[in-house]
Amino acid sequence: MTADSDKDIQYLKAIGKICAEALRLMMAHARAGMTTKELDDYGLAFLKAEGARSAPQAMYKFPGATCISVSPVIAHGIPNDHVLKAGELIHIDVSAELDGYYADTGASMVVDKRDKNFDKLIEATKAVLMKALHSAKAGAPLNGIGKTVQEEARARGYNVIYDLTGHGIGKKLHEPPGEIFNFHQPKDRRILEAGLVLAIEPFLTSGVGHVVEEKDGWSLRTKDRTIAAQFEHTIIVTKNEPMILTL
């Protein structure tokens, strides 16, 4: 969508804040010994208390309020009876709706423990996301986002996951302008416009950069079972710096 009124911006900020806080609380709450379903229930309780609805449940009947992926699963992981272990790399994605407006955010973390390889990947993915966000300016080519992600990932010694993309968002979870690639796609000639609402989410990996779907029909894991990380923010494009709704 294009946020072209104060009302749009106000409502988008409201749901963005709720998603950001839900993610922060879930990351703080995650610990070894709890199941991913218990962690999901914590996020769901917060969303309900704020009057928001889980977007994947509302739009796609996803079997969880949030997506919690345990490496090598990197996206769309179903919360279940998996017991978290110290040192596991996990990815939490929170998207929700309030008053007809949607926001989406996500982050990777290590449960209860530090790991230098995971830490390096996580910090690199965070940095790549921020670079990508600041490349999203009105009048610039949309494919500049993917070019930035790919170049910054390579500079840090990682590959992008080619099969996973960012997306337009606003009045639906996924809407025009459609996919936002995490690599340079020269045939993509779309131009960013002021007010455009986007969910930008780089996925970095130490592997080949492709995913396969697990038997549950939702979970996506790295094809070569290598580690990967994801960070995501919802933004409103402006002529200058983006308005980050889920910071």
Write the CATH number for 211: 3.90.230.10
Q: Is residue 89 part of a domain?
A: yes
Q: Which of 173, 209, 164 is nearest to 96 (CA)?
A: 173
31 occurs within a structural domain: yes
pLDDT digits (tens, 9 = 90+) for 10-54: 999 999 999 999 999 999 999 999 999 999 999 999 999 999 999
What whole-number distance in Å separates Cα of residue 197 and Cα of residue 19?
15
Residue labelled with tokens 């992008």? 160
Helix, strand, or coil (residue 198): strand
Is 1 inside a domain boundary? no
Residue 46 sits at φ, ψ, to 5 deg, of -65, -45
Sorted by sequence, the CB contacts under 8 Å of residue 16 that are 6+ apart come out as 103, 105, 234, 245, 246
Gap between the Cα atoms of 201 and 69, Å rounded: 15
Q: Give domain status of residue 22, yes or no.
A: yes
Low-confidence ranges of the chain (pLDDT < 70): none
Structural domains of the chain, count: 1
Look up the domain containing 20 and give its range: 6-244
Instruction: Provide the Cα torsion 170, 172, 177, 179; round to 10°.
Output: 120
pLDDT for 123: 98
Q: Hey, what are 36's tokens?
A: 């991913």
Sign of CA dihedral 226, 198, 123, 156: positive
Predicted local distance difference test score (pLDDT) of residue 114: 86
- The reply to whether 112 falls in a domain is yes
In whole angstroms, give the CA distance from residue 135 to residue 238. Answer: 11
| Distance (Å) of CA 219 to CA 69, 71, 120, 247 | 8, 11, 24, 26
CB 52 within 8 A of CB 98: yes
